[in-house]
Chain A
């Protein structure tokens, strides 16, 4: 026990499975957890869609909602859930001194404007002039702000008054890893006392699928469990809309305001392994060994994406010494890119908090009967970068 330990005192999670920690705990610990899927809107791609959300419960001003598209609304909403959960939501002094690290990609482009430009381009050769013509007249001025990566954090500041500091990390899953790693390091070293960290991903937009499919990463043949996806049906990734935000505090800061923590963030490791050959598997095995030390049974909340080679390497690394039992939540939520690692840490914290492991998320996952006093959270980038963190009892 150290006053500078990093404890988790607030969790906000949203996915196709529901809104908030209770809905997720129930959905994921039920008899046979089932994914929520939409195979039609973006066929041949399947997505895990957002549930219905009443944005106004976390973003009361219509004017604020109008300034955002779904991605920023989702993040701002979920950040609000985390602040609520931590009992900080309406504490102006705590929010004003609270630091923030958001992992973000980009927001939604205007599909209609873009399609109009694409279609018109087939009839004209002066494409650069066409772009000027259409973009100057058709783009909504506010849409730029809704697309900007750092404006999710900007909106969280405006709506929830979190203004201690604001940093946005970019770079797919790795950004989520770095966000939590940096947040925890800042608290441990005394550079911050309380911090909001997290990410949101809104997959229900063609550009979000395009970014994966430029590299042939998506599965095209309908849903199948994470660990059992076949290269014949595409790249193996099925995406989902979702978000995860955590309130992290130093132990002494949480104690001073009388808050009980879900769990504590132990060591976090990250890396940039070369992906050829066995490079990734070796790096992940080394990372598991470094974080876990002994051979005691360990529950792993895996953010594996489903991308074939990478997911195989992660599975092999987790299976290597036989004491780690994985739960791949992307089977049930879909891949949420920047939000994968924050989401993994959130689910790990819930398991530690309840002293209960999740049942298998897919048939091939082994049972885990013991009451977990710790859980390993992982996120291995479908294209690059990887990280893991140990979540322990507070």
Chain B
């Protein structure tokens, strides 16, 4: 088998995958739910929702860490996904032997800790009391939670990844960027394998409020499972969610040599930043168009070769319109017939994890020959003419996938995956 691509670079295989979302833990639970069109969106119970415009989310509530704050939950989610991925790859559990790329949300000391420390302080009405109380308390765990390096450091320690682990953020594109960094490192010949994880357990009250204040979230709270409706006319914002996705990436040559099962091939990745606005994309869609084209060109493929698109599909009025515009520009008259679906219709927007979670689902789509649907597609947006695989899964022979991730702050990343080395 050929183990290099048309540019002579090492082909990158996926040999292990793990995932956690509000739909459940692990690939099996998630796949069963996704292909039966089940939503993981539910009323928020983690914190009171009085005064909040949005009272639903796709939080992961079934873990012991679910109520312990953003950092512990983000770690736990990353850990579970990594465990499943490394296990499937058949690699030693504590001696991974390649670098770690972790997409994770920015960290801050949790409000509950802030309030507790202040209650222990001199309460003198300014920030000095809080700092003094923090110093007095001298709680190692609190310090660790305030450090951006901690989660990756712990994952690196547990799985025996090599070198200085990289934690990154490209907002909603982060998970895809983590995979891209892994692909690039393998192509440079720096390593035979890399562990790429996207994890996000940051659905706190403050996070929800911040996105609310930007008018990014839907307020269709009445029937939570119907609130995320990408490409529908009455879509009104995304649903905040949590989750994690992990991939073991390996040079195809190395994977074959050790007899690993090849789950899929990462053919190409591309990115393009937007310089238009902090939360809105350029009206002509040129950055998203350029990101898709860059990914195709990096994969050495033409747009005709893409058989399915895993959409960014957030269910905001803006994103879905722009995504349609961009894809129509790239794919032309063929676009209305290319199946495209949004996992976010069921799992919500898992933010830093989304690109990795959706890459895992993209590979599963090819392996299982089943396209998960875009649910809640009852009122199509006439301005968006797409085959969104409405409401019900579809059996389909899919050999290639394009997965889109478009972030706040203008960071756009696209991945092209294939079932076989080709």
Q: Which residues of A contact B (CB under 8 A)?
A: 67, 100, 104-106, 109, 111, 114-115, 117-119, 121-122, 126-129, 131-133, 135-136, 139-141, 144-145, 147-151, 153-155, 157-158, 161-172, 174-175, 177-178, 181-182, 185-186, 189, 191, 206-207, 209-211, 213-216, 270-272, 381, 383-387
- A100: chain B residues at CB < 8 Å are 273
Interface residue count for B (Cβ, 8 Å)? Answer: 78
- A383: chain B residues at CB < 8 Å are 143, 147, 149
Task: Provide a sorted-by-A list of 5 A–B residue pairs whose CB atoms are within 8 angstroms.
Answer: A119-B125, A165-B271, A172-B147, A214-B135, A384-B153
B286 to chain A, nearest CB (A): 10
Q: A136-B209, A210-B131, A213-B131 are in contact. Are A178 and B153 (CB under 8 A)?
A: no
6 closest residue pairs by CB, A with B = A154-B409, A171-B149, A215-B143, A206-B127, A144-B210, A141-B213
- Tell whether, in the assembled complex, residue A151 and residue B164 are in contact, meaning their CB atoms are under 8 Å apart: no
- Tell whether, in the assembled complex, residue A171 and residue B170 are in contact, meaning their CB atoms are under 8 Å apart: no
- Tell whether, in the assembled complex, residue A148 and residue B171 are in contact, meaning their CB atoms are under 8 Å apart: yes
- B147: chain A residues at CB < 8 Å are 171-172, 211, 383-384
A174 vs B53: C-alpha distance in the bound complex, in angstroms?
39
A182 to chain B, nearest CB (A): 7
List the B residue with the shortest CB-CB distance to A181. Answer: B164
The answer, among A141, A148, A158, for a CB contact under 8 Å with B276, is A158
Q: A119-B123, A129-B51, A214-B139 are in contact. List 5 more A-B contacts (CB 8 A).
A: A105-B106, A129-B50, A165-B271, A170-B167, A174-B149
- Tell whether, in the assembled complex, residue B149 and residue A381 are in contact, meaning their CB atoms are under 8 Å apart: yes
A148 vs B148: C-alpha distance in the bound complex, in angstroms?
13
- A147: chain B residues at CB < 8 Å are 106
- A387: chain B residues at CB < 8 Å are 164
Instruction: Count chain B CB atoms within 10 A of each CB in A114, A118, A140 and give the residue with the most.
Output: A118
- Tell whether, in the assembled complex, residue A214 and residue B168 are in contact, meaning their CB atoms are under 8 Å apart: no
- A136: chain B residues at CB < 8 Å are 51-53, 209, 212-213
A164 vs B410: C-alpha distance in the bound complex, in angstroms?
11
Q: Which residues of B contact A (CB under 8 A)?
A: 47-53, 104, 106-109, 111-112, 114-115, 118-119, 123, 125-128, 130-131, 134-135, 138-140, 142-143, 146-149, 152-153, 156, 163-171, 174, 177, 181, 184, 187-188, 190, 205-206, 209-214, 271-279, 287, 407-411
A128 vs B274: C-alpha distance in the bound complex, in angstroms?
37
Instruction: Count chain B CB atoms within 10 A of each CB in A136, A140, A175 and give the residue with the most.
Output: A136
A50 vs B119: C-alpha distance in the bound complex, in angstroms?
33
- Tell whether, in the assembled complex, residue B184 and residue A174 are in contact, meaning their CB atoms are under 8 Å apart: no
Q: A149-B106, A150-B411, A151-B409 are in contact. Are A105 and B148 (CB under 8 A)?
A: yes
Instruction: Count chain A CB atoms within 10 A of each CB in B53, B130, B210, B411 and give the residue with the most.
Output: B411
Instruction: Count chain B CB atoms within 10 A of each CB in A122, A164, A165, A191 and give the residue with the most.
Output: A165
B250 to chain A, nearest CB (A): 18
The answer, among B48, B153, B184, for a CB contact under 8 Å with A128, is B48
List the B residue with the shortest CB-CB distance to A178. Answer: B166
- Tell whether, in the assembled complex, residue B408 and residue A157 are in contact, meaning their CB atoms are under 8 Å apart: no
Q: A105-B148, A383-B147 are in contact. Are A270 and B212 (CB under 8 A)?
A: no
The answer, among B108, B164, B167, for a CB contact under 8 Å with A177, is B164
Instruction: Count chain B CB atoms within 10 A of each CB in A105, A126, A150, A175 and give the residue with the most.
Output: A150
B275 to chain A, nearest CB (A): 5
- Tell whether, in the assembled complex, residue B52 and residue A385 are in contact, meaning their CB atoms are under 8 Å apart: no
